[in-house]
Amino acid sequence: MENKPSVWTSNRFWRRSATWVTGVSAVLLILLTVDSMSQMQMGTAKDIQNKVDKRIPSPLVINYKIDYQLSPKRGHEVPIIGGMDANGKSKYEEKEKFFGRDDYTEEEARALIHKGKLTIQAKNCMDCHTLLGNGAYYAPDLTKAWLDPAWNVIGQGYGGKEYAMAAFLQNPPAMAMHERKMPNLGITKDEAKAVVAYLKFMSAIDTNGFPRNFGKIKGAVNARK
Amino acid sequence: MQGNSVQLYEGQKLALKYFTVAIVLFGAQLLFGLIAAIQFLYPDFLFNTLDFSIARMVHINALVVWLLYAMIGAVYWLLPDEAGKEVVGVKLGNLAFYVLTAAVAVVVLVYLFIQVGPGTEMTTWLITEGREYIEAPRWADIGIVVVVLIFLYNVYATALTGKRSGILTVLMADLVALAGLYLAGMFYTDNIAVDQYWWWWVVHLWVEATWEVYVAAVGGYILIKTLNANRKVVEMWLWIEVAMMFGSGILGLGHHYFWIGTPEYWWEIGALFSALEPVPLVGLFVHVLYDWGKERGKGNTIKNVPAFAWLTVETFGNFLGAGVWGFMHTLPQINLYTHGTQWPAAHGHLAFFGAYVAIMIAAIYLAVQGKAGLKELKMTKAGWWAIALITVGVLFMTVALTLSAYVQTMVERGMYGATWEGYFVAQANQWFVQGLGWRLATGIMVIVGYVFLVYDLLTCTKKQPVEVSQVETAAATA
């Protein structure tokens, strides 16, 4: 019996390999997911008190000034909440009025982003825009929409960019910025405020440096002005 | 097969129903894709009536749903054949088919005529969940789960009581994973990063893991049917491909976790495993051509030329679209610039077509042959036009979108640092616009090919060479 069939053409060997490879991959994915979920929990008021940066910050960030700055340590841009200290870390001190207030309670802030996200889903925003880079490509990415230089300019005429954004959302064709107009989706005043709150909250999510060089390229946007 | 008075299994008759709806929805997918492509160039087209968001939602949802219909249909077609017995629970299967089709019709009508709702939980239950690809409202999600459970029951009950081939074993394991993953997309959270994390479990683990394994299993069945390929060899390759596809595809999930608020370790995991993802696709490709050459050497003829031709398109398309075009922008260093541009659109069109559309059409041609009871099915002129127009159309569309993507990446991301101003400057660039123009033209080409395809599926069995039918009749009377 020297002519034993080679293991490389044995169905049994390959079936077992397939089962093992699949099993090991699935277990690894589950372990990584457990770790990722713990790192992706939404921050709380306590985190802000203790000046702890969370990947997904507390909804209370709507009370603070948000910025997106190069972190020399990480080699890409990171959200800075409430001003930056000497080490390039968030200080959670510099507040910023959002619809006239900078003292939203945790419940109020949570309620706003809850309604904001529901509205974003109810109006199918992702079938034109991209959020965190996912979605359609028919309209601009909203990941850092709150920080986009365009709103700083438009906002001046409205007493703040949150008012301009809310006005736009309630009747987009009236403030069309491009021939590819956003349709009127029947967004109410409350929904518009909540969506803007969500956009501000989303701009503070740590996206590992995406989008790269956001509005900061020397020799391009800023230098042309 | 008994000549013209063909005896089909009840399960196979059910498969024909699924295939019919699949082809209709394929047409809907192309129609709404055309509307969306026109709106990219002429934004006022149907503005405020059927906006881009709605056209695009129907376009992608019709794609997913028709592929699922065709997948279920192909399983019902091969299941009694492989198991050597009638499908258990066919009546239940028929009921599930009508329930599913009614639900799909209601969902589409709501998409078209109600479109959006107020920002409340009720909208996610009744109108839309607003989450790309899985927009269906939650009531429909629950209905889909029930229908899929019936389907799974039928597959398991039939395979466990009949002959259990390697192909059926792979399908049983794969379908339960496919169905289970859908549950990962059925909840609401305010945390958009967590939302998208699980959303990818449905989208990626379907498209880049369970669907690919499904395709390998059905592809193996088609090889056996069209080429008389050696079952032992086919099944050995099938297990190798399962190992490679799940081995690369499950953790390849990481390439979607670069920028959505996840920890950085996904950069390395995503880069490594998605670099491996094209490997099994090469295997599939080599396998088909190898079998073809080997079997032809024995003087065997191809039993179903259209099915085999579409299977060949599938291997090329899957390797190019999913493998090459996917790998082009999958490393985090590149993806940082290409994520959220026309790159994924270019990749997506060729990948879905190459990996899934082509093989589902091949499966449908097998059913057309089986229904007519023909021993051999030759390619007709209309069949050639269909395969040529659709394949060349999608290939050129991919090249056109790649051109647009290249311009967009350079201008919007490279020059303008991803601002809105940069976005609009890129969208107006003449090279970008020209790419979209070619996309529209090639889209029309695909639709013409679709018309040929439908015509051919309906008529090709009547246009087969006379001697084949005679042989068939002789065999039946003998």
pLDDT at residue A211 tops 60: yes
Query: What is the distance between the alpha carbons of residues A182 and A191, in angstroms, rounded to a whole number?
Result: 16
- Residue A111 near chain B (CB below 8 Å): no
List pLDDT tens digits, range A137-153.
Answer: 999 999 999 999 899 88
Average pLDDT over residues B181-205: 96
| Residue B130 with chain A: CB contacts under 8 Å | 120-127
Q: Which two tokens stand for residue B62?
A: 């019709």
In whole numbers, what is the pLDDT of chain B averaged over residues?
93
Using an 8 Å Cβ cutoff, are B55 and B39 in contact? yes
Q: DSSP per residue over B6-37, as a string?
A: ----HHHHHHHHHHHHHHHHHHHHHHHHHHHH
Query: What is the distance between the alpha carbons of residues B91 and B39, in angstroms, rounded to a whole number?
Result: 44
Least confident of A140-144, B142-146, B276-280, B319-323: B276-280
pLDDT at residue B373 tops 60: yes
List pLDDT tens digits, range B4-39.
Answer: 557 899 999 999 999 999 999 999 999 999 999 999
- The distance of A196 to chain B (nearest Cα, Å) reads 13
Q: Nearest-CA residue of chain B relative to A173?
A: B48
Query: What is the distance between the alpha carbons of residues B9 and B366, in angstroms, rounded to a whole number?
Result: 14
pLDDT at B439: 98
Using an 8 Å Cβ cutoff, are B76 and B18 in contact? yes
| Residue B262 with chain A: CB contacts under 8 Å | 36, 39-40, 55, 208
Instruction: Answer yes or no: is the ipTM higher than 0.85.
Output: yes
Q: DSSP per residue over B72-126, as a string?
A: HHHHHHHHHHHHTSPPTTHHHHHHHHHHHHHHHHHHHHHHHHT----SSHHHHHH
- Residue A44 near chain B (CB below 8 Å): no
How does residue B165 score in pLDDT terms, banded at 50, 70 and 90? Answer: very high
List pLDDT tens digits, range A63-98.
Answer: 999 999 888 889 899 999 999 998 889 999 999 999
List pLDDT tens digits, range B263-299.
Answer: 999 999 999 999 999 888 877 777 777 777 877 777 7
How does residue A212 score in pLDDT terms, banded at 50, 70 and 90? Answer: confident
How does residue A2 score in pLDDT terms, banded at 50, 70 and 90? Answer: low
How does residue B475 score in pLDDT terms, banded at 50, 70 and 90? Answer: low
Q: Would you call B57 and A118 a contact, using CB atoms and an 8 Å cutoff?
A: no
Q: Which H helix or E strand runs over B404?
A: helix B381-408
Residues contacting residue B215 through CB under 8 Å, at least 6 positions apart: B284, B314, B318, B355, B356, B359
**Test the A interface: residue of B50, B51, B341 with most A CBs within 10 Å:** B51
For chain A, give me the number of helices (H) and strands (E)? 7, 4
User: Residue A29: beta bridge partners?
Assistant: none
Average pLDDT over residues B113-141: 96
| Residue A216 with chain B: CB contacts under 8 Å | 417
Least confident of A187-196, B176-185, B291-300, B387-396: B291-300
pLDDT at A219: 44
Tell which A residues from 3 to 42 touch B, by Cβ distance under 8 Å: 9-11, 14-15, 17-18, 21-22, 25-26, 28-29, 32-33, 35-37, 39-42
Average pLDDT over residues B158-168: 95
Q: What are the backbone dihedrals phi and psi of residue B194, each rounded to the nearest 5 degrees, phi first?
A: -65, -40
pLDDT at A177: 84
| Residue B43 with chain A: CB contacts under 8 Å | 179-181
Tell which A residues from 69 to 98 touch B, by Cβ distance under 8 Å: none
Query: pLDDT exceeding 70 applies to what percent of chain A?
Result: 94
Average pLDDT over residues A40-68: 96
pLDDT at B324: 94
Query: What is the distance between the alpha carbons of residues B45 and B38, in angstroms, rounded to a whole number?
Result: 7
Identity of the amino acid at A212 = R
pLDDT at residue B467 tops 80: no
Residues contacting residue B102 through CB under 8 Å, at least 6 positions apart: none
pLDDT at B5: 56
Query: What is the distance between the alpha carbons of residues B332 and B255, in angstroms, rounded to a whole number?
Result: 7
Average pLDDT over residues B453-460: 98
pLDDT at residue B402 tops 90: yes
pLDDT at residue B471 tops 60: no
pLDDT at A222: 42
pLDDT at A216: 66
Q: Would you call A133 and B259 a contact, using CB atoms and an 8 Å cutoff?
A: yes
pLDDT at B1: 40
pLDDT at B361: 98
pLDDT at A225: 36
Average pLDDT over residues B383-394: 98
How does residue A217 score in pLDDT terms, banded at 50, 70 and 90? Answer: low
Query: What is the distance between the alpha carbons of residues B31 and B390, in angstroms, rounded to a whole number?
Result: 14
Q: Nearest-CA residue of chain A relative to B49?
A: A183
